[in-house]
Structure 1
Amino acid sequence: MAIELDVATRLSTNLVHVYKLFGSVRHHAPRFHEAIEPTAYPLLFALGVRPMRVSEIADAIHSDLSVVSRQVSHLADLGIVEKRPDESDGRASVIALSDEGSEAIRRMQDSRGHWFQELMTGWEPADAEAFDAFLVQFIDTLDGQICQLRSGPKSPSTSTTTHP
């Protein structure tokens, strides 16, 4: 069953507001490493899951391959990531976090976790758990939509969505 248009509109407006607030936080929050741009954090978090090829990183973080390639080069120069041979294809390489990169991710996650604990002090634990579950559901839905959009236009009979 579809949600009502007024609910969808409120959700859209509220999510844009949250996006803007997080942008403001990003501009005012201290950096975890002087030379790592906050725009590279998603790349680092993706590599925290497992080593990946540059193209896999770009897909995972929904970014342009050339942007990710530049970020990887910069992070490799800093010693935050390292290139390793791809065990499944010796001609290719994967990007992995270095020990310093793993430590930077751990510090970021701990800091964010403490900040969210403080931010949500007045919340009931069950409400925070429910919010997290709904957020994961929304993320999965949005990720699926992005994958559909990337795969190209569908015939009118299979898709009625023409914009994100």
Structure 2
Amino acid sequence: MDNQLPELLRTVEHELTALLRRGRAVSWGVVREVHPHLEPNTYGLLLWLRRSGAVRLTDLSVRLGVGKGTLSRQIRGLEELGLVRREPDPEDRRAARLSLTVEGQRRFDAARGSRVEELQQSLAGWSADDLAEFARLLHHFNENWTPER
């Protein structure tokens, strides 16, 4: 094993912790703008619904790493606020597909827009190649990271 590996892993862990802390703060800000009564941890749920369109609860649960019970409770709250709708799955009438309502999309996009502008300002000095590499590495990390629960 490379002698530098333990120190490099500690550095990655440190930087990842800083990124997650900042990401959580950004997520909370976006969620509060969408609706003041939303739980802060619904940002990831709203983001995946926005990106995915209509998706089954079970697929969303796996993707987000959240239990179906917790996710169902969050979805009910979003439905009550008129931000999410549940429709029968055309492929399996026992299942439902979840998606953002037009109002949910409008509110999420408006709130997220200011955060994207902040990100653009933070990364203004980066080259397109560096941004592409950063995005590639983050995607690679997210696709392969399987934390123990």
TM-score range, shorter chain: 0.7 to 0.9
2:125 to 111, 122, 125: 122
* 1:31 to 2:33 alignment: yes
**Is the 2:26–2:115 contact (alpha carbons within 8 Å) kept by the matching residues of 1?**
no
Give the number of the structure whose residues are more often helix, by fraction. 2
1:68 to 67, 71, 78: 71
Structure 1 residues 99, 27: CA separation in 2 closer, same or farther (over 3 Å shift)? closer
5+ unaligned residues in a row in structure 1: which ranges? 151-164
Structure of higher RCO (CA pairs closer than 8 Å, 6+ residues apart): 2
**Is the 1:58–1:65 contact (alpha carbons within 8 Å) kept by the matching residues of 2?**
yes
Q: Distance in 1 between matches of 2:134 and 2:56?
A: 33
Q: Distance in 1 between matches of 2:29 and 2:48?
A: 24
**Is the 1:81–1:96 contact (alpha carbons within 8 Å) kept by the matching residues of 2?**
yes
Aligned residues: 146
Between 1:52-61 and 1:103-112, the stretch displaced more is 103-112
Paired residue secondary structure (2:86): strand
| Counterpart position of 1:47 | 49
Structure 1 residues 43, 23: CA separation in 2 closer, same or farther (over 3 Å shift)? closer
**Is the 1:85–1:92 contact (alpha carbons within 8 Å) kept by the matching residues of 2?**
yes
Aligned AA (1:59): V
Q: Distance in 1 between matches of 2:29 and 2:113?
A: 18
Q: Distance in 2 between matches of 1:115 and 1:132?
A: 17
C-alpha displacement of 1:138: 1.2
C-alpha displacement of 1:25: 4.2
**Is the 1:86–1:92 contact (alpha carbons within 8 Å) kept by the matching residues of 2?**
yes
> Percent identical across equivalent pairs?
25
TM-score by structure 2 length?
0.83
C-alpha displacement of 1:33: 2.4
Q: Distance in 1 between matches of 2:96 and 2:117?
A: 35
Q: Distance in 2 between matches of 1:4 and 1:124?
A: 28
**Is the 1:81–1:101 contact (alpha carbons within 8 Å) kept by the matching residues of 2?**
yes
In our comparison, the structure showing a higher alpha carbon Rg is 1
Structure 1 residues 89, 26: CA separation in 2 closer, same or farther (over 3 Å shift)? closer
Q: Distance in 2 between matches of 1:85 and 1:55?
A: 14
Q: Distance in 2 between matches of 1:24 and 1:91?
A: 37
Q: Distance in 2 between matches of 1:115 and 1:32?
A: 17
CA displacement 1:79-133 (0-9 Å, x = unmatched) = 1011101101122222121111122232244223211101112222322221111
Structure 1 residues 26, 72: CA separation in 2 closer, same or farther (over 3 Å shift)? closer
Aligned AA (1:124): S
